[in-house]
Each structure stands twice: as structure tokens, then as C-alpha cells.
Chain A
């Protein structure tokens, strides 16, 4: 008690200062608020041009001012205008704006045409809303209608290619989390943007709990001027999502349903060997060229091979066959099928060619249903929605299912508004490869390993796999998926906010307080069943289960002031304080040695009666962190022509050192609407031209909490030891686990942006362009320390520096042909260059976190981009012994093998000749939207392209070099080096060649691609049909296809790769190893039909 009392007193003076400052600001606002007067009134109705229905909630604004209103539930409005000679601009989300000169009228009726490309009217820019045309920072508004044509469970995945400057990576596993990067890569780890939903800071996995149908708008704050209001965590950009709010007007009920069928965009059966005997030809060549005896245990006589009748771990030398009497012969032994016993004597039939892809992937049903009820009166609005989504994976035993309920309400009384936004979601994931999982141990990794001669099942009822020599070390991927078919991960997510605001002085001053929360509960379990059928078998069953809780709250208080002085000076000011706290806790346990060999769903628990009680293990851990911030923003424009805006934010973070935990992040931006200048009036083709420039700073503190002090600890597999020699018990041991750094401070991103927004031909052609440079200094990062300092996690330091330079643009055009045909086209493009400017003192490079069988393959090197590919540079093949003799000395050089370049010119090829051989960063990415509307028909399509990015195809370790006797590429047989085919793609097939498989430029392929992401045709039923069913106001049906075709030279499965998730003690290091193909869950081609019914 005493302590807390003291702290109250201690901080009282600081708070008094704050209160005084706030108070003074309020007085200033108050005084200026008095100078307001009212003018003349205009009234009218806003309707939908196509249906004639009234449009409630449309915005009507006097052009060049902030004066405006919205239409009521009958579409009516009344507006005080300065003069009847003014012009009003009418806008409504999803409709084209209309500019209407009042021309002295007091009554105006306006009809709006539904739009296919959004211009983005009012945009949410952090604690406030601004008009797009008045923003001088770089903010991209997303066309939600367009985005929602992509049928993914996660809104982030839908954004791919729709926003310039934003990179999105994902895979085809339903419900998988996407990796979003805004304007390059900022740090060695933790580059996720900040996500704000309705003012709530949420974790990226909360986005999986958000039904995309609930989204009203998405804004991406890209430059510091826009983002620094969120200073603390805005270094990676901010994605702001607002959900649908009701509008005053009649009750509107909307039902959206979509059902589709998904199939993978590509299959490994197009790439890998499918016929057992063809595979044997490869195997034979590998042994023959190495001078080794050719194995006969599967295919028998190498000169006359045949598919064996049966396979099991026999004597390793001789093929198996069954005679007419049903006797199985192997070597000199014989037996019958009765010899089969589970699990000790498994027998399988040889397969002439198992299509593993076809066994693992099936067409899948994907559906989504959304019911939205919204409306409101003069003093209240509501929007309630229910969503159910069920996405079956194309991989077997893979499913993502989600139900959400959302209720957004708002009530006004006098100057006060009270409201809440709340969403509850339950989702469940089973199987698949969520979170971009890749690698050998995944179903895809194992599929690559399965030879075609292995059947899916053995002669009993059990699964078959490679339990015989020369069949590799894979695990049957169908079995693996089946065994994990009950392993569910369940999330319950409850997030939202409660707020109240007061609008004072004729709405010039708005005070708002908001308490928001993000509550996540995750539980999951998975079983590890025996793999008796494997060549590397696992014979015990183990099971683990965990429960995570994460609670965050954010408390925000803002004061906002908007005023126009002397008719032309428009001022908008914002001040606020915010606190944020997150508490995470996990409990998990495991047990092994189940009594039942294959426990069913009723016995998958951590319970001593079910398994070996001595193996039971339980543990819990947690994390806590807090943030506290002050912020302010001032926007000023003169006549909507000259804009200046300043932001400042001061943040304190619990993750940083006590002396350095506060950081201040200023930003300033200017804009000039040059088109409004009199000297530009000659350019009558130009309807709008605004030049923008900004400079600002944002911060990043996303590191594991608690790293400011040394931490000690231990683990049973780390520091504990059986000092008593009991062989069955361990004594506790401790060591330093983490080295702290009390001086940790903010990582700072300084960003400069220049751009323009231009409109031509009455705004039908819109062009936006931005150039930027971001320099991130004091990069939070734990440089590798010498091994002599021990293995404790090294201290995190503010040592690195990185930069991103780039440009991005968007061009759109809305056109009409005749009265009935509207069309539009929109193209965006982005380019960035990422560069590592400093690592640590004297440090030139460090390796990335991804390791293949051949070691590391990424390097982070000074002067290059993060995560560049690293290896030898190939230089053709050694075609002759003479060529070897005349080449730099290289241990392992042989005819038919890859020749590598002597990069450092020392006359020999060593590890020092490894160099940068590629980069995952694209040179250019682009999205193209096309839309057509003709009478009741509408059509749209979206094409995405990525150019100049490399992919490191790590699957070549298996599919080309046949490590572990895996399956191989079909063209290996025809395009490998032989003395008669020296101009080959692949080196000579040779079992003993462990040289060619060294990581080299051979693995690096051009990953450029262009993909038709979406094509949709819709038809809106005419009113005559609607008349048959009173209560229906609109019915639209559509059919669409996604990912229908891809143009690429990439020889792997799918060039659209997810980011491979890796972690270090500092955080997520995925950006040090993107663009690596270790066998990915491909994206899906989805054909679906949908209906949108409005009641």
C-alpha cells in the first residue's frame, strides 16, 4: 500500500503538468470555437442510380470545406451551406462520387452510380478520420469489394497485389496466417506491421478470427507521416481495418453465400517420377555411374528389372516374388502371406507406380455464409453479423472452420455518443501446413521422398512406407495426415472496444475515451503415432496438449478539434494518451508410452492410466509487456490547397532499458494542391494535382520481453544431470540463459516520402505515385558472439542499420461507353531495394536461420539485401579430365559434376568461394484490376505479377540429387549429363557425387510469375423478379474462378511461396530466409458460385 501511495505522489507532479497542458489546449480550442456562424440550407434525397432505392448514410459535403452531413434512412438530407452558389460532393461507399453545383437551388436530388473501383472517401488514419484528398502522408485505401472477391478466410491473404508497396506471402493451407510486409523489410526480425481493428491493437493471428465480410474499409499507413501517430510500433507500417457500422435508415438484411470447389494449382505428379520402373532407371544410373553394385532387393536383376510382388525388410539383396502356390520367395527363404503380422512383420505389395499426389490431394469444398443485419435511427445505429466459414483443404484430413458473431452499436444522446464493437470467433484448424510450414517433415516433404514403388497400404490394413533398404527415409504422407486427423488447434477470440465520445462546440471539439481488448484462447493437442512402416521407425506413441491465453487491453483517450477559420484556414488537431498491456500464459503437457498401440480419439489425453506415467511432463510459462504513450497531431490547410501536418508521439516500453525506454517520434508532411493554383487553370485536362512530401520517424520495440537483465534458468535437457548415476533421475542445474542489456533502446525508422495524387478528365483517370526512403537505425538485434562467451542467448543490442528505397504507383481509370456500359481499370506497381547498412562493429555478415541438409543457405551481408542466397556459382560441368586439370583445384572434382567458380581467384575452390547467388526480393510487383458493368451484368478480373525475385529450390536436394533415395524429377532421366549429352540441365547421376549438391546457383531459379488471381461474372436480378418476393430489395448471383492460370518459368510446384517461419531468441526471423522452396502447400484453383441477397 505504502509503495503504491508513494508512487502516486511521485507521479502527481508529472500528471499535474499533463493536466495543465491539456487544459490549456482545451481553453485555446474553446476560444477559437466561438467564431462560428451558420448560413443557408439545402435539402434533398440521395438514391441509387440503378435501382432507385434511397441511400441512407451517404455523405454530402460542401466542396472545398469540411462542412457536410449524411443522409437519413429515407435517403433525405438537409445541409447548411455557406452559399447557394457552392458545390456539393455526394459520396457513398461503393458508389461513384458525384459533384453537384447547387446553382441557387434549395432542393437537390442526387442519384449515385455503384462503382467498381473505389476512390476511397473518408479514410481512417489513426485515432481519426480524414478525407483522402486532404492527406499529405502516404495512405493506401483498399477496395474492400474487390478484395473480398478472393475467397480466403483471412483478409490479409486477400490483400495480395491490391495495395502498392505491400508484399503478402501465404500458402494454400486453409486458415494459414499470411506474412505481410510494407515497403521492404525493416529489421532482422519481427517485421509484422501493426494491425488495428476498430481502434483495437490486435495480434496478427487475431486477423484469422475476423470475418472478411465484416470489413468496411482497410487502410494501409505506409510512410512515417501517416504512421507515426502510432509511433511505438509503426515502424513496419500500420494496417487499419474498420468493420461495418450501421447507418441511420431502414433495416437492411444482407445474406452472402458462396460455395466453391478447390483444387491445387499444380501437383508434384507433374514434376516427379510416376512409374516405378522409370525410377529404377534413375537408381540404376546413380549406382552404375558411381561404380557401385546395383541394389537388387526391390527390382531384381538390373538388366531385367521388374516390380516386385512384395516388399518388406528382407535380406537386403534379393527381389521378392510369389509363385503359383502363393509362396513368397525372398533369397533362399520362403514364406506365405500368413507371415504378415502387425507391427513386427509388415509386408507390402510392390506398386507399378503410386501417384502420391493424387493420394494426398482431393478436390475440396469451401463455403462461406454471412448474414448481416444493420440499420439505425436518428440517434442510434447497429450492425450485427453472423458468419460461418468452412474451408476444406485440398490436402486430405485438412480443414479450417470458423464461426463469428459481431455486434457494432452506437447511441447518441445530446453531445454524447456511446458505443461498442465486439466480435467473438471460434475457429478450428486440423492438418494441412498452416503458418507456412515447410520442410522434410511435412506431408509435402514426405511426398517428395516417397518412391513410386511404395503402395499406400500394406497387405494388412496398415499403412505402407519405406521400411526396406533403398526405399529412403520418408514417412507415408497420407498416413501422416491420417494419423493427425484429430489434432485440432482451436482458437477462441474475443476482441472489440467500448467507447464514448462527446462532441462539443458545434462538433468542433470531440473528446473520446475508448477501452479496447483482444482476448485470445488457444488450445491444441497432437499425437505422434508409431511409424512401424518407416525405415526410420518410431515405436512409441506420444501426445501433447497445450492451452494458451493472451489478454491485451488498450486504453485510449483523445481530444480532437476541427475548425475552419476565416473561411479558408482549416485546422484539425488531435491529442491523446494511451496505455497498452499484454499478458500471455501457456500451460502444456505431454505423455508417452501409450498402452494401446494406436490410441483412438477417446484415449488421447494426458492421463497416467493411459500411458507410461514416468513420461508425464507438464510446464507453463508466460510473458508480460506494457506500453504507455502520449501523442498529438496537427493538420492545417489553407483553402484545401496548402497542407501541412505534424505529428509527435512519445512512447515508453517495458521491453526496453529503464533509462532508454522512452522514445519520441516526430513527423511532418506537406502538400500542395497545385491544380487549384490560378497558373494551372490552363491545364483543364487536369482535375486534381496534389504534391506531397513527408519526413518522420517511427519506432520498433518488438523483442522478447525481459531482455534488459540477465536471466538464469535451466532445463531438463540442458543443465540438469544425473549426478547420482541412477540412470533414471536428474538433479537440477542452472546456468545463465540470457544475457541482458540494460541500455536497450528504441529501434528508429526515419522515412522520407515524396509523391503526388493526380486526377485527369474530371477524375476519371487517377494517378498516385510515391517515392520513399526508409533508414532504420539502432536496429534491435542480437549479434552472434564468439563461442568462448558461452551459449547463453547473446545480448540484444541496438547496432544494426538497414534501408529500403522504393517507389510505388497506382493508376486507375473509370470509363463509360454509351449509357449502360461502365468500365474501369486499375494498375498498381511497387519496387523496393533493401540494403543492410551496418551489422555490428567489425561484422561483415552473418548466416540466416534456414538450414538444409547441406547447411546454411542465406547470408545477411553488408551492402546487400537481408536474406540473400549464398553458395557457389556454377560454371557448367567438368566435361573432361583435361578440363579438371586446367581448372582451379577442387576436392571432389570429377567429370560430369558441377564446376564452381573460383570467386576469390586463389586457384582453388574452397568455402571462401561461396558468394551471393540470388535474392528473394522482387524487382517489381504489380496488380491489375479490370471491371465492366453492363446493365445488370458485371464482370471483374484481377491479375497479380511478381518480377525479378529468385527462389532457392531446396527440394532439389531430393528431386535432383536424390539424397535419401527420394523420388526425383521426371526430366532427370533425360536431361542429366552424359558423355553424349554435355549440354545438360543436371549433373551426371552418381550415387557418390556429394559435390554437385553443394548449395550453388543451380538451386536458384527465377521465381517471377503472373497469376490470374480472380475472375468474376455477376448478374443482378431485375426488379421485375424481385417484385415476386416482397421484402427482397436486391439479388445478385455470381460465378467466379480463382488462380485459374499462372505464367512462370519456375520449375517447382508453385512460385507463390509462404514465408518460412523461423525464430531466434530475439523473435521471428522469417525475413532472413524467405523465397525458399522446401516443398510447399500450393495455392488452390477455386471455382465458386455465390449469391448476395439484400432484404
Chain B
């Protein structure tokens, strides 16, 4: 029995030792905090508020690593605004990004379109979500001065207005909520009975009150940004008299001016120039190992194979758009205006051998065979990926010059990522909206003067030989120009093209198309001009284009529903538990 006692004792000791070993801090043993992340307490202060605001700005290019999504998220709206319009083709080759083909051919109820719509939806609402998070946090922290607090609130409300406006442009009927409604599923997902424009204008009016007229950092929005943006929203929502008042104030009293010449607006050197109202501040070699801050969602738009870039050849200007740049040899006015029925009759490649006079903006906007491409050499046929599919022209407007050294040193095909800012709103856009408001409110001569201002500036410089940084821009009659005949005329006082509302409309719309070509506005402009007009323009476009680009034979009719809005992404409808309702006509 003694032996048994001893053994039993040993056993108990072994178990006790084992248990005691565990007992060392076992209470905390299962409490393991997340590694390498911040918690809500760490950020509940001024640093946190600022950081949240910066993250709201970071969505301005439409993309972040947390939203992902394909090219449909691009803030340039190159797909939704231009490829879906008469301005541009998808480009590249057939089968590359078939989703964009579906959008281009008005197959908007397909799952391919739905995927891109869903990406864009998620990205825009991430911008809204980050803006709301900033405001929510701002309300909860102390230790910020009234000025600091007002400034942050103004910026966050501006950004929220911008993201809502982009969403409204796409879908019109969208859920609208503020930082106060977060967590309420019905409020955050229902799009019935919402009034996005009211919310956007409320935010912008608040921002105008809260923001200073200047900011120490170039990327931050000011009172004037908000004011100019309010004018834009008013014009888009049909409040032309409001738009006229607001934008006139911006024109007369604001800090903005047209850049000296057209190319400067899109050059790296011209970033944040006098014409910039709102732009995405791109950056490269900034410590981001994949170059993701360098206009990532717009990376596919460089010329292909034989070019110095090598990839990928998307967003090719259409024949229709190239024809639109032709001017009347008699007065230098757009052929679209002077010969509205025949300007688009030319099907042939408009290369450097063609002598018909053109607006010099053509060669800042479109890459054409034989014409110098900034300072990268002459555009060659081999720069196009599949010209039998998508024509002979390349995207050019936003591309950086060789001399600028704007390319990233990191990332896949690093040359596609660059530090050239992306304009989200520029002064010429605001002026043309003002001209539009002038026309609609009957101030035709004021509209004429604005159009002339734009045209005069367009005549300041043309694409030069580009053998060096100093001759990318030359006067439009420079003897070195052998590839084009540039001409820009203005509308003289009493011009018949501004004699009545209908004529002035045509002239202002033509000017807007030329000035803002390949900047993602076209389809949204056409929608603003009215369903009948948009249908007529786009159905006429696909009709003609079938003979130029055979794949347009598959295009569907652009109908009055398409002229209103895009379909709400079906995945989001499914997730909304019945709160989100499909737009009429797409049900």
C-alpha cells in the first residue's frame, strides 16, 4: 500500500505540475490582439481625422487596392462616358476586356456589363463611405480648432458630393445617406424616393461656407472648387439659371484662368495650373512598390506593340471623333457646325497625308499615322494593335511626354503608371457649362464670347516635330509642320451660328465635344442634351460605324432608357434585401 501511495503521489505531482504550467497566465492565453493594425482608439484624434480625410481623397482616381475592380472604375470615365458614346472605341483587339465591348455596343443587361457596373458602384460608395467615416470621426473627437474642424468638414462634404455626383451621373436613382444614417440598412441601400441632387447641393453649399479660399496644399479643395462644382451640378441637373449665377461668379471673381495653350493643361509641367479646379494628384516612385498611385485605372490607354510604350492600345478615338475636328476652310469653324449633314462622310484613315484643315486640338487628342506623338516620334501603323478591328487612331490626350520623366520605375509595364494628374474638373469645362447655361437662359452673345475664348486658346499652339522638349509645342502655322493644315476660327459678333438658340446650342455643344474629347464627358453630355438628341446622335453613329468597324453590326439600339441612366448593378440589388430597385426600363 505504501508503494501505491508513493506512485499515486508521483502521478498527482505530474498532473499538478502540468496544470500549474498551463495556469501561468492562461486567462490571457486566449486573448490575442490583431497584429500590425490600428484600432479605433488610436485614431480617435486629429491625426485620425486627417488620415481618414486623406483616404477619402485617395479614391479620386476611382480605385484602391481595397476596392479592386477592373477598368470600369476609372475616374476618367473613359468607358462610361466615351467608349459608350460616339467619341471612342474600346480599342485593343476583339476579345480583350469583352466587358467593355458589351458596354460599347449597348448590351447593358449582360453579366459582362453588370460586372463593370458593380465595380464602379462599389468604388464610388467606398469614396462616400470614407467621406462619411471622416465626418463621423470628426464629430467625435476634441482637440481641433474650429478652423481646422471646418476645413476638414468642408473637404469631406465636398468629396462626398463629388462621389455622389459621379454615382448620380451613372444611375440617377441611388441610395443617399450621410454619416448619421450609417448602419441603417434601409437608409443605406434604398434608392426609392431619394434626392441625390439635393444632398449634393447641400454638401457643396456647406463646403462653400466652411472652406477657405486657398489651401496650403495643392491637392486640397477650396471654397472656389466647391463653388465651381456647384455650378456643374446645377447645369447637369437642369438648373441653368442657378448654374449661370454660380459659374459667372467663378468666372468673374474666382482664381481660375485658361492655360496659355491647350497642351499645357495635359502636360506634367502643367499639373495644378491655373485651369485646374479638381484633379487626382498622381504620384510615382513615392514608396508604393507597385506604382498604384500613378493613374492605375487608366493605364491601358497607351499605344501598342511597335510604339515606345508597347501596350495596350485601349480607348481608341473613333473615326467620327476625328472627323469632328475638321474645320471649314472658309472660316476655320467646326465642320460639325457649318456642314451639319456632311461633316462625317469621310471613312478613310485620316493620316498625315491628308490636307483637309483641322483644329489643332486634333493632334493633342488623337494619335494619327505620320504625325509626331508628343516627343515620342511619329505615330506608325505598327502602334495599333488591330487596326482592322478598331481603326487607325491612338489615345493621346493625357499621355505624358518623354521629356517629362513621369513614368514609374516600379510595377508591371511600369511606363503605363505615371505622375501626370488626371483632371476631374477643369476651368474650360466650367466655362463651357456656363456657355450652355447662357444659351439656355437666352444670353447667346455671352455664350459666343466664351466659345471664342476657348477657340482662341486652342489656336495658340499645335503639335510640333517633337524632336526635343522645346519643340513639342509650336505655333499652329509653324513651317516645321508638314503633317497637317491647322486652322481655328472664331465666331464674329453677329455670327449666324449664334443668331438663335438652336444654332448657338449646336455651336456650344460642338465646342464642348472638341475641347473635352477623350475626357469621359460625352455620353453624360448627350444625356443632358435630352433623350431624343442622344438617341439620334448615337444611333446615327452606330449606323455609320457598322461600315467602318464591322463589329458595330452587333450594336443594340440606343434607346430612351439608355439616354437616362445605366442599369443598377444586379449584384447590388440582390444584396439589398429588396431595398434597391432597378431603374425603370431595365427591370
Contacts and interface: CB of A to CB of B under 8 A. Distances in A.
Interface of A: 4, 7-8, 10-12, 15, 18-19, 22-23, 26-27, 30, 287, 290-293, 295, 297, 313-317, 415, 467-470, 473, 502, 504-505, 509, 511, 513, 534-540, 542, 555, 557, 559, 577, 579, 581, 590, 592-593, 612, 614-615, 617, 620-628, 652-654, 658, 661, 705-707, 709-738, 784-792, 842-844, 853-856, 891-892, 894, 910-911, 914, 961-965, 991-992, 994-995, 997
Contact of A7 (B27, B52, B98, B285): B27
B111 interface: yes
Interface string B25-49: 1111111111111111011000010
A994 B175 contact: no
B12 A23 contact: yes
A945 B36 CA distance: 47
Given A714-B55, A789-B129, A965-B93, A911 B109 contact: yes
15 contacts: A18-B19, A22-B19, A27-B8, A316-B306, A415-B7, A540-B409, A579-B22, A661-B30, A717-B292, A725-B281, A727-B268, A727-B283, A731-B54, A854-B112, A992-B553
B54 A469 contact: no
Nearest to B121: A787
Nearest to A656: B30
Contact of B293 (A502, A628, A720): A720
Nearest to B118: A787
A729 B15 contact: no
B34 A991 contact: no
B8 A615 contact: no
Residue among B33, B94, B284, B310 having the largest count of chain A Cβ atoms under 10 Å: B94
Interface of B: 4, 7-8, 10-12, 14-16, 18-40, 42-43, 48, 51-55, 57-58, 60, 64-67, 93-99, 101-102, 105, 107, 109-112, 114-115, 118, 121-123, 125-126, 128-130, 133, 175, 177, 185, 188-189, 217-220, 268, 271-272, 281-290, 292-293, 296, 304-306, 310-312, 380-389, 406, 409-410, 412-415, 419, 421, 550-551, 553-554, 556, 569-572, 574-577, 580
B55 A719 contact: yes
A992 B554 contact: yes
Contacts of B569: 787
A786 B34 contact: no
Contacts of B125: 787-790
A724 B293 CA distance: 14
A788 B186 CA distance: 11
Contacts of A18: 19
A541 B409 CA distance: 9
Contacts of B410: 540, 542, 590, 592-593, 615
B384 A511 contact: no
A734 B286 contact: no
A728 B4 CA distance: 79
Nearest to B276: A725
Residue among B28, B35, B571 having the largest count of chain A Cβ atoms under 10 Å: B35
A623 B37 CA distance: 11
A785 B574 CA distance: 10
A894 B306 CA distance: 34
A792 B66 contact: yes
A228 B572 CA distance: 40
A335 B580 CA distance: 64
Contacts of B34: 705-707, 709, 711
Contacts of B96: 963-964
A315 B311 contact: no
B94 A992 contact: yes
A719 B19 contact: no
Given A502-B14, A706-B34, A720-B54, 6 more contacts: A535-B305, A539-B415, A706-B32, A712-B39, A735-B130, A786-B188
Contact of A711 (B39, B48, B110, B217): B39
B409 A511 contact: no
A791 B126 contact: yes
A997 B95 CA distance: 9
Given A314-B382, A540-B414, A729-B286, A786 B15 contact: no
Given A786-B576, A787-B121, A22 B93 contact: no
A627 B7 CA distance: 31
Contacts of B31: 654, 658
Contacts of A961: 95
Given A19-B16, A854-B98, A855-B115, A730 B28 contact: no
A540 B387 CA distance: 28
A1055 B55 CA distance: 47
Contacts of A658: 31
Nearest to B1: A34
A555 B388 contact: no
Contact of A723 (B130, B220, B282): B220
Contacts, number: 414
B587 to A, nearest CB: 11
B38 A720 contact: no
Given A711-B39, A712-B38, A891 B107 contact: yes
Q: Please give me the 9 A-B residue pairs with the lowest Cβ-Cβ distance, nearest first.
A: A706-B34, A725-B218, A717-B292, A790-B129, A733-B54, A734-B51, A719-B55, A733-B55, A911-B111
B412 A538 contact: yes
Contacts of A614: 285, 287, 409
A537 B413 contact: yes
A469 B386 contact: yes
A473 B388 CA distance: 17
A722 B281 contact: yes
A730 B283 contact: yes
A729 B283 contact: yes
B388 A295 contact: yes
Contact of B122 (A290, A315, A787): A787
Contacts of A314: 306, 382
A19 B19 contact: yes
Contact of A292 (B53, B218, B388, B556): B388
A318 to B, nearest CB: 9
A426 to B, nearest CB: 28
A517 to B, nearest CB: 15
A706 B386 CA distance: 50
Given A721-B281, A730-B283, A733-B51, A891 B110 contact: yes
Nearest to A588: B289
B37 A735 contact: no
A542 B281 CA distance: 25
Given A313-B382, A719-B58, A714 B51 contact: yes
Contacts of A997: 95, 98
A712 B64 contact: no
B14 A721 contact: no
Contacts of A23: 12, 15
Contacts of A297: 382
Contacts of A712: 37-40, 42-43
Contact of A789 (B48, B188, B286): B188
Nearest to B551: A992
Contacts of A706: 32-35, 37
B30 A733 contact: no
A728 B386 CA distance: 35
B287 A730 contact: yes
Contacts of B415: 539
B285 A612 contact: yes
A8 B554 contact: no
Contacts of B185: 786
B474 to A, nearest CB: 26
B99 A855 contact: yes
A622 B35 contact: yes
A716 B286 contact: yes
B284 A727 contact: yes
A622 B35 CA distance: 6
A652 B293 CA distance: 43
B114 A911 contact: yes
A560 to B, nearest CB: 12
B506 to A, nearest CB: 32
B5 to A, nearest CB: 10
